[in-house]
């Protein structure tokens, strides 16, 4: 069974590879495809499926003891014992890599949707009207900074309202249901 240090090193290296490549969905998927087999085999070893069988005192041993220790052919426990003993093999490596890549692409797509670009219209009582591009995960404080850049009005002099509700600086655009082309009312204080 690999040591805790070896497992931690493998997990850290795989996590770093995914994080470093997360700038685009494709590079993230490639990193995840490379990291997934190592993460999977490290996890299998960490729970107690070692090269010489199930390690005494491990979670795998406790699981086997809970049902009498009988391992039927083709069962999950038998498969994990084989992986612990000989590794994933070529097919397992490809399958685990493909699953890692698919999960990475799904997470990237979900993240891109969660932080989508929104074009809002900012209007003040004195006739000022601005189009400001924000992200759905931007805070209201971030929005005020963008308004300051475009209008020159200091953000500490701004109060923003949407649908008659004053917007709180620490909350996010998506918290208020602000969508593309929403009108935000700007009230300025001297």
pLDDT per residue rounded down to tens, the chain (190 residues)? 455 565 556 555 555 555 554 455 566 666 666 667 777 777 777 777 777 777 778 887 887 777 776 666 667 777 777 776 666 677 776 777 777 777 776 776 666 566 688 899 999 988 889 999 999 889 999 999 999 999 999 999 999 999 999 999 999 998 999 998 999 999 998 8
69 to 49, 63, 78, 128: CA distances (angstroms): 14, 8, 11, 75
Looking at the fold, whether 29 and 44 belong to one and the same domain comes out as yes
Contact (CB, 8 A) for 34 and 24: no
Boundaries of domain holding 175: 117-188
Looking at the fold, whether 129 and 106 belong to one and the same domain comes out as no
Q: pTM, whole model, 2 decimals?
A: 0.46
Q: How does DSSP classify residue 133?
A: E
Looking at the fold, whether 30 and 70 belong to one and the same domain comes out as yes
Provide the pLDDT for residue 7.
56
Q: Which of 63, 97, 114 is the last residue of a domain?
A: 114
Looking at the fold, whether 21 and 88 belong to one and the same domain comes out as yes
Looking at the fold, whether 74 and 167 belong to one and the same domain comes out as no
Provide the pLDDT for residue 56.
79
Distance CA 3, CA 55 (A): 12
Looking at the fold, whether 68 and 144 belong to one and the same domain comes out as no
Measuring CA to CA, which residue among 116, 164, 124, 156 is closest to residue 140?
156
Looking at the fold, whether 97 and 137 belong to one and the same domain comes out as no
Looking at the fold, whether 16 and 86 belong to one and the same domain comes out as yes
- Count of structural domains, the chain: 2
Q: Which of 114, 140, 173 is the last residue of a domain?
A: 114
Which CATH number covers residue 148?
3.10.20.90
Provide the pLDDT for residue 108.
67
Place of tokens 């093999």: 89
């Amino acid at each position: 069974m690999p040591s805790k240090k070896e497992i931690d090193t493998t997990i850290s290296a795989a996590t770093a590879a995914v994080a470093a490549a997360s700038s685009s969905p494709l590079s993230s998927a490639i990193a995840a495809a490379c990291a997934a087999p190592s993460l999977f085999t490290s996890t299998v070893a960490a729970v107690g499926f070692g090269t010489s069988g199930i390690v005494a005192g491990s979670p795998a041993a406790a699981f086997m003891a809970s049902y009498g220790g009988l391992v039927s052919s083709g069962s999950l426990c038998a498969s994990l014992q084989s992986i612990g003993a000989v590794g994933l093999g070529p097919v397992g490596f490809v399958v685990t890599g493909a699953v890692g890549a698919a999960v990475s692409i799904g997470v990237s797509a979900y993240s891109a949707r969660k932080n989508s670009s929104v074009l809002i219209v900012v209007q003040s009582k004195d006739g000022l009207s601005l189009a400001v591009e924000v992200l759905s995960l931007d805070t209201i404080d971030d929005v005020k900074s963008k308004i300051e850049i475009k209008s020159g009005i200091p953000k500490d002099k701004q109060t923003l309202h949407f649908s008659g509700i004053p917007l709180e600086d620490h909350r996010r655009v998506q918290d208020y249901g602000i969508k593309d082309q929403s009108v935000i009312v700007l009230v300025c204080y001297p």
